[in-house]
Homo-oligomer: A and B are copies of this chain.
Amino acid sequence: MSQNHHDYWNVTPDEVESIALGAGILGTGGGGNPYLGKLRLWETMKRGGRPKVISPDQVPDEARISTVGGMGAPTVGIERLSQGEEMLGAVKMLEQHLGAPIPYVISGEIGGSNSLSALIVSAQSGRIAVDGDGMGRAFPELQMNTFVIGGIPVAPLAVCDVRGQSTVVSHVLNARWAERIACAVTVQMGGSSGLAARSMTGAEMKRAAVWDTLTLAKKLGEVVRQARIRRDDPALAAADTMNGQILFRGKIVDVTRRTTAGFARGHLRLRANSGSDELDIDIQNENLIARRDGEVIAVVPDLITLVTEDDGEPVGTEVLRYGLRVAVLGMPCTPQLRTETALQFVGPRAFGYEIDYKPLAGRWPGRVN
């Protein structure tokens, strides 16, 4: 870790590269590609923006902090890369609504495209990014995160579009309603928006966030990049860093997908490189359940990620194709997602599967608050 007590971690462009790679692996096939966020962050840094990161335990208890991220289709994001201040616009609108400044921001989701959100807002505005997130992975819905699980209201939340238009979802019964309304607004805004949610205290954030996940993503990216250079096994390096395992090595022999109600639901079958073993994976945006020869061997909220056999590049569910040779990583999730309460939000039953959660062996590699 680059930061010391009361010091900021001044993230470098090369560290951004590693964080983006690690975030892809933590994305469990979903969460969107961090590539666009990386370009945006680099662009901002090239213009002098400096992302500053602080450890959760260094945030004052009484400080105000909000989660930031992007909502909507990543493909839309490509066309609109030029503007890029939607998240900052949302933070500013939330400040205006609250009548108070928000000096700290934290990414809602470390897995995938939103991993760099807090860094982007930090580089654009000087606000401080907190080293952590609300998932320790990726999930498809707003209400699936440790802030909601910890009982912290998601509202007020602000969404802002590329034109500077903004809407504040000011009061909702629960996070599921917030998701519905914010999604509907985002659709009207053209399918893509920046999001700033919650008005937490530092103390609340410390209790509810998954800690140090920017550091974890960076480390994960670094070991994979080093393994590539040393011609080691990048998949194994990633699995080891996560205290996880390689569940399977093989090639994709069947992919079925359909997009329903905003979810890419699907099923994936792999055949082992040697022998006739098969692995089946159920998908709802993210990889949710892995079955080897019919037996469940890994299940959400534990992390299941496909990486390319050769260089450990994470494979998103949107780019799955027949014949691709992959390693399937199984990685333990943070214990915050394994409680009885948490499993109601993010366990297999929350996704409609009539099976129980059985924890994967191994200990989450991050610090636990």
Q: Which residues of A contact B (CB under 8 A)?
A: 93, 96-97, 99, 158, 163-173, 177, 180-181, 184-185, 187-189
A182 CB, nearest partner CB in chain B, Å: 9
For residue A89, give the distance in angstroms from its CB to the closest CB of chain B.
9
Residues of the B chain whose Cβ atoms lie less than 8 Å from the Cβ of A173: 163-165
**Given A181-B189, A184-B188, A187-B184, A172 contacting B165 (CB threshold 8 A):** yes
A168 contacts across to B, CB distance below 8 A: 97, 167-170
Given contacts A97-B97, A99-B99, contact A181 B170 (CB under 8 A): no
Structural contact, A93 and B163, CB atoms closer than 8 A: no
Interface centre among A158, A164, A170 (most CB of B within 10 A): A170
26 A-B contacts (beta carbon < 8 Å): A93-B170, A93-B171, A96-B170, A97-B97, A97-B168, A158-B170, A163-B173, A164-B171, A164-B173, A165-B173, A165-B177, A165-B181, A167-B168, A167-B169, A167-B170, A167-B181, A167-B185, A168-B168, A168-B169, A168-B170, A177-B188, A180-B188, A181-B185, A184-B184, A184-B187, A184-B188
Closest 10 CB pairs of A and B: A168-B168, A184-B184, A166-B171, A184-B188, A180-B188, A166-B170, A167-B169, A181-B188, A165-B172, A168-B170
Give the docked Cα–Cα distance between A189 and B184 (Å). 10
Identify the interface centre among A97, A99, A173: most chain B CB within 10 Å of its CB: A97
Could you say which residues of chain B place their CB within 8 Å of the CB of A96? 170
Q: How far is the CB of A132 from chain B (nearest CB, A)?
A: 28
Residues in B neighbouring A189, C-beta threshold 8 A: 181
The residues of B that contact A99 with a CB separation of less than 8 Å are 99
Is the pair B165, A167 in contact by a Cβ cutoff of 8 Å? Answer: no
